[in-house]
Structure 1
Amino acid sequence: MAAGGCPLTRWYIYAIHGYFCEVMFTATWAFVAERDWKFQGVTSVWALFIYGTSSLVLERMYLVLRGRCPLLSRCLCYTLWIYLWEFATGYLLRRFDACPWDYSHFRYHLMGLVTLEYALFWFLGSLVLEKLIIGNTLRLRLEGPSPAATTVPIPSSRGQQRTN
């Protein structure tokens, strides 16, 4: 089965990728800002849904835009989507007192849910997502054992053959 034909598999790959990147980003940020040698990253279980779903939308945008506009324009579109998605999911989570981020301490924030200070990170992240993650995920082939594998004779140590 091709991964390109299984949205749930692609969602899972994107969710895990986003989750990992967030943990690494927060660990690096804490190290640079506070010299925290523990290098402990943090995130929320909500990040799996947020990154997985957003990346499926970005994948769709990639498939539509790839032949129509240059890479930098696509990354700008991706970045705008990321800001819209981050704001919308943050707003919804905040309604349930479950939003794990708060950018209120940044200078250029909107309701503490998004901040322009992260624009370059989101732009570069969308570039990596398109070039490394989406492209390779769409090419993955996930196949089970072939039907012939169960009937192939396997020599035993005594010279007799058995089937697997």
Structure 2
Amino acid sequence: MSEVLDAIDARILDIIQHDAGLSVAEIADRVGLSSSPCWRRIKRLEESGVILRRVTILDRERLGLGFEVYCTVKLSLPTRDNLDAFESAIGKLAEVVQCATVTGAADYELRIVTRDMHAFDDFLREKILSLGLVSNIESRIVIRSVKNTTAAPLALISPYVTSQG
């Protein structure tokens, strides 16, 4: 890690990764700083790339997007061109909320969110299989999510962090 974090930086990161909607004054109060130095630290963390972006997490169930599937994908021929083509196509598909290259027999692990089983079937047929690059897909439907967080485990890099939740 090229960015050196002190205990206050770590606390700021922990606070904002759990609630990015807090004002600088609220964050500053929680870490024991005034607003200006807190704002400067946040700006430094953004400029250095430690903070990539701030987002709002939506309740997919309430939006009618509660069908979640993990798919292991094997390409027919995993050449550099095919890997690049697949990754480029996947990057444009809204249903794919995560994509990772993986070790083992498969090439990719996808996390897909859709409305229901029928929308997932349409997605596979019309968007993934139509690419002509895939030889095998194994799908696992999520029954219940036990843990789902976007928070980085900061306690692993800083003993000064106390998790907010």
Normalised to the residue count of structure 1, the TM-score between the two structures is 0.25
Higher relative contact order (CA 8 A, sep 6+): 2
The structure with the largest helix share of the pair is 1
**Which has more radius of gyration?**
1
TM-score of the superposed pair, with normalisation by structure 2: 0.25
